[in-house]
Structures are given as C-alpha cells and as structure tokens.
Structure 1
Amino acid sequence: MADRIVPVPVPVDGDYVVKLAQELIQIPAENPPGDCAEVAGRILSELKSIGIDRIETHEFKPGQPNFIIQAGDGGEGGHFVIGSHMDTVPVHPDEVEAWETPPFGGELRGGEIWG
C-alpha cells in the first residue's frame, strides 16, 4: 500500500459541485448542539441518486452520523478516503449584522460560495 497521496484526474461537473455545496451550506448544522441529521440526509440522498447504495451509518451521538461508503466492485482498483465534517460553528444572532451575506445563504459571489 502506498504511503503517499497521488493526484488522480477525474472529470468533475463544476456546476453540479457548486449547486450541491450551496444546498449543503443552506442547511443549518450548528455545533452546539451538533444536530447534523438534515445535512446527513441530504448527503445520503445525493449518494443514492448517483448509484452508491453500499453505505454504513454509524451514529455515536444522536444527530451526528458518520458514513462508511463503498463504491465499485471492491476489486483491486484502489481506494480513497474522504474525511470531513457536517457541522458548522454557531451563528450568534448579535453577529449576523456584521456578515456580508447571510450565514446560511450559500451565495455565489466572484467565483466563491459564501455562507
């Protein structure tokens, strides 16, 4: 097994990625309290819509699931791991006025997604 990261060129639909990121940003998942169930549901729905159905869900705390996802035939073709989180820092109501965009807006501005 290789102990290095090797970039692999994969065709990506940029518009699809931006739209999905915007949708995920628009789902509040502040921590505390850490309830990510709605974000997790959206991610699971998306995975299933692209044909990934071998998904294990491990929920160590209510509303804070982790996924183990298998795609492909499980052969010798290689493996990759994505480590991420679904929660966000809390949005304090007295600080929202200082934001340039709504915290859960997912607004596309100048090639960047804000939120």
Structure 2
Amino acid sequence: MRIRMCTEADLVAAVDITIEVFGPFYEQTFRAMVTPEVFEHQHDTWDEDYRRMVPGLLCPTEGRHVAVAEERGEIVGYVAWHSDSDRRHGEIDVLCVRGNQRGKGIGRMLCERAIAGM
C-alpha cells in the first residue's frame, strides 16, 4: 500500500470511488427516508454533484490537498483536506475507501497523511 499525493490524472478514480462509497447512502438510505419530491429537489443529481465537486478538492495553491492510497497501481481510496497556515487550522473534507478495501487500515493511513500535511 502506497500513500501519495494526488495528481490531476488520479481525479477520475477519486470521482468513481466517491460515487461508489456514497451511492448506497443516497440511493438506499436517504431515498427511503424522504418523499420522492424531497429527494428529487435536494439530491436527485447527487452523482453529478460529486463529479463536479471532487476535481475542485485539489488546488494546492489555495490550500486544498488530496492524497491517494494506491495498491498495485490502482487507487483504492483518498482523503481531501484544506488548511490555512496563517490561522493554523485544517480540516479533512472527504475520506473515501473502496468497500472491498475496508478494514485494512487504509482510512487511518490516509487520515494520518492529511494531518501531517496540515
């Protein structure tokens, strides 16, 4: 397992992982909790929202960083964070690990990388 900084080329995999990870929440859990009208109004395009949002997580010049977990050449997870060195403040924005890779400590390693980068 290799944790490394994300490149622009990795963002396609990051989008795919995000949709895989959050899809069950939106399509099964949240959809069942609200009326069809509420779902359609608030989250009908949740996957497209993530396709637009995830690439914007990477902008080091603005303090937005992403690290990826890579196993045998495949991106299996990522963490995105932002930091403000002037305020000495940072936050993890998104943490995603593919379902078939969970329980291996990947999320912990990604969080440790983010915290070290703050």
TM-score class normalised by the smaller sequence: under 0.3
More strand by share: 2
More helix by share: 2
Task: Provide the TM-score with structure 2 as the length reference.
Answer: 0.27
